[in-house]
Amino acid sequence: MPSASAASTPPGRDPSRRARAGEQAKPAPKRKVAPSAASVPGRPIAKVPKGLAAQKERAVEIFQKLQQLHPDAHCELDHKDAYQLIVATVLSAQTTDKLVNKVTPALFAKYPSAKTLAAAEVAEVSETLRSGGLGMYNQKGKNIVGLAKGIVERHGGEVPRSIDELVKLPGVGRKTANVVLGVMWNIPDGVVVDTHVQRLSQRLGFTKETTPEKIEPALCKLFPRETWDPLSHVLIFHGRRVCFAIKPACSACGVNELCPSAFRAENVGRKNRPPR
């Protein structure tokens, strides 16, 4: 007759396991942690010089290296003229250029000019955006119709070429205005600071400022005016392809030896998130 202890052992279980209960359990596997710059053999943490002249020299060196890494850096919003670019830029708020580029062919086929868009019904424009998969289509439809009306009523249907006039148009801020001025006519009034430029400017040590409003003048102070437009495109390209917000590819970065955030960049330059 089996003993009580044997009888209580579930089928397939080894009764001797209880005898080994005092043995030390195997430790859980260690979590892999990305190495800091100091922990990479032969890789000291890059320092940002204190003097403005030295900071400018360093900034231009980084920019030139990034240009070599991304020689094809350009505005990735598809457009044929200033009207299409300003509309596409307004639509790109809180979404990707890739998605905007899927929507705009149908939009511009229906409304090929500011005059035709200004005369359109907002509901019809919003439906075109919705059918293309764009989010916030009602608000964005209203925005671009209002924008087109402003261009027609104030500027005869032509997109103005000054920052002061552009920012008076509905839905147009400094970022959108400088995209148009820089891409179309190479006369930007500042540096375009989107989420990628905002992040990389902090990671690369160009500034300690954290908001676009303060980052833009800091960049304008560091870089020559003729580089303002290509600078934003190069930083955006690098941010989309290498210096990601999450898990940046520091080991594959061509400027990691100059970057003070190299191999510890993930928590630098990212927007603060509420605790879960």
User: Which residues are tagged catalytic?
Assistant: 175, 194
Whats the size of the chain, residue-wise?
Answer: 276
Write the secondary structure of 182-240 as one string of H (helix), E (strand) and C (coil).
HHHHCCCCCCCCCHHHHHHHHHCCCCCCCCHHHHHHHHHHHCCHHHHHHHHHHHHHHHH
The CA distance from 80 to 50, in Å, is 44
Quickly count helices (H) and strands (E) in the chain. 13, 0
Q: What is the DSSP-derived secondary structure letter of residue 243?
A: S
Cβ atoms of 213 and 173 within 8 Å: the answer is no
Q: What is the DSSP-derived secondary structure letter of residue 80?
A: S
What would the DSSP string read from start to end of 114-177? HHHHHTS-HHHHHHHHHHTT-SSHHHHHHHHHHHHHHHHHHHTTS--SSHHHHTTSTT--HHHH
Report phi then psi at 127, rounded to 5: -65, -35
Both tokens assigned to 22: 């005092």
- What percent of the chain is helix, strand and coil (3-state, nearest 5)? 50, 0, 50
Q: How far is CA 142 from CA 90, 125, 171, 174, 228, in A?
A: 11, 8, 10, 20, 31
Cβ atoms of 201 and 269 within 8 Å: the answer is yes
